[in-house]
Structure 1
């Protein structure tokens, strides 16, 4: 075949250049932050770099002023883990429920998905207002009962109450849409074969359905954790007195003027990539186990 027939058209190079610019725009800022976090002790917030060291990571480990980054880090990990588990569980149950005609299912579906198109700050304000009204009601009931708890009662706003609910309004729609897509192309013949062999509904779910959709559940869990890990807008009015790591990071951008802020950004990015890596490893192990059984 001649070179004339194998030569790529000009449109190929134009699209390749556009894709390259897109990737640079997407990952360029992250690469810049990672590079700046390794500056020397005399380094600043901009290029050029002034040496290479782990100095700012050591400063991060020592703490940033009065802000307890370690506690915020642990809170975000704990909240992300709970959000991930609930997103997987509720998305799976919803996917199973919608396999049959569900009374009121259409209204429920659009109600869940509607949270994706609502401005996140409005969702946060609404949940925060609802919990403040709940606080007023609870305190009024306690005072009406003459309980001594009325004076000690603070607020129901918190990490695993209003904060958890706010983040689930962001993660559940994604999990639900993924489960719909999975079950829409799920071959029921596998279930029918298991039932013909005498398996109960629970045995069919446990030994047939869940192994087949396992990689998708891992993906839902990854979505749940990563969306919770960097969520700010829906958390801003719902976390009460405790901040998550992204909220602390947002506050530090106005007060910290050293590359330690970049070191913190690098650490949080590595956590996100670690979760993605664990998810991919989980999918690989599931497929390898299925191949061995086959």
Structure 2
């Protein structure tokens, strides 16, 4: 006997409508900026669009606009790559260290993730103040020794790097702690029984198993650094990252050039995200083909 097919309940359509409205609310502004950034030379900041062209992108990248996007792009990209690498390396090292019990581990864990609950602007101000105090102390010491006082240490790869790591590292640490807590130690023990050294055990056993999670941490590290504004506001010194340039332009630019810059920043973020997802899927397929655990 065929079962009578029942229609979906009213709650399904209500929840589906709420979800659709949420998606529109989330991606509607992005779609609007994307569309308005392709306006013609006489375009404005609102609809209707006046022509379709790449004029504002050409103006932005040629240096004819009010911001040197090439320099800001390179600074943000370089900083994001450094933050990504350091986040992965430090997170994996900390995950390996926390596999063994040691005194003060709990306190160290809470200190490491505390920056997640501290307002970003407070972290930025604190780091900037810390480096200014350090500059004063070093300057006084150099003067007392008859040396030339060091230059201002606040900059992209000093205080700026520290500010971004205070945001990305807690995410990397939490991921790696969860991964290593679930990792079956029997694979390492088997490698040791076969004569593998600790480095060989890590390289050929642990690393292949945690590789997909390292891709996720890399994604967190780069994208969080690439889009960060609040923690960058007081720590970059005389240079600006691309998001800071974008934030500054919101009060001065009255042309679609600002939309072109916003589209560029968003495009890089999506390129990194989808590229990372593609790499993750490829690694999962290779793991499945080799019969590795976790595939």
TM-score, structure 1 normalization:
0.95
Report whether the alignment pairs 1:94 with 2:94.
yes
SS at match of 1:124: helix
Aligned counterparts of 2:236 and 2:177: Cα–Cα separation in 1: 31
1: CA distance, partners of 2:67 / 2:86: 29
Q: Report the Cα distance in structure 1 between the residues aligned to 2:285 and 2:3, rounded to whole angstroms.
A: 43
Question: 226, 230, 243: which is aligned to 1:229?
Answer: 226
**Cα RMSD between the aligned structures?**
1.3
Runs of 4+ displaced beyond 4 Å: none
Shift of 1:13: 0.5
The equivalent residue for 1:279 is 276
CA deviation vs aligned residue, 1:10-43 (integer Å, no higher than 9, x gap):
0011111111111111111111110111111211
Task: For residue 42 of structure 2, give the secondary structure of its aligned residue in structure 1.
Answer: coil
2:88/2:217 contact within 8 Å kept? yes
CA distance in 2, matches of 1:284, 1:291: 10
After superposition, the C-alpha distances for 1:177-210 in whole angstroms (9 at most, x for unaligned) are 1111111221222212222222221111101111
Unmatched 5+ residue regions in structure 2? none
Q: How many equivalent pairs are there?
A: 290
Name the residue aligned to 1:118: 118
Q: How does 1:72-151 map to 2 (within 5 A)?
A: 72-147=72-147, 149-150=148-149
Per the TM alignment, residue 141 of structure 1 is displaced from its structure 2 partner at its CA by 0.7
- Gap change, CA 1:123 and 1:64, over 3 Å in 2: farther
- Which of 237, 241, 245 aligns to 2:242? It is 245
- Cα contact 1:128–1:238 (8 A) shared by 2: yes
Q: Are 1:88 and 1:217, in contact at CA under 8 Å, matched by a contact in 2?
A: yes
Instruction: Tell me how far 1:290 sits from its aligned partner.
Output: 2.5
Contact 1:45-1:259 within 8 A present in 2 as well? yes
CA distance, structure 1, for counterparts of residue 28 and residue 156 of structure 2 = 33
SS in 2 for 1:44: coil
Q: Which position in structure 1 is the counterpart of 2:56?
A: 56
Q: Is 1:267 the counterpart of 2:264 in the alignment?
A: yes
Equivalent residue, structure 1, for 2:255? 258
Contact in 1 for aligned 2:128/2:154 (Cα 8 Å)? yes
Deviation of 1:248 (Å): 0.8
Q: Cα distance, 1:65 vs. partner?
A: 4.2
1:166 aligns with 2:163: yes
Note if contact 1:88-1:220 (Cα within 8 Å) is conserved in structure 2.
Answer: yes
CA contact (8 A) 1:211 1:286 kept: no
Residue of 187, 201, 206 corresponding to 1:190: 187
Whether 1:200 and 2:197 are equivalent positions in the alignment is yes
- Cα contact 2:188–2:206 (8 A) shared by 1: yes
Q: 2: CA distance between counterparts of 1:18 and 1:187?
A: 41
Instruction: Look up the match of 2:18.
Output: 18
Give the equivalent residue in structure 2 for 1:9: 9
Q: 2:287 aligns with which of 272, 287, 290?
A: 290
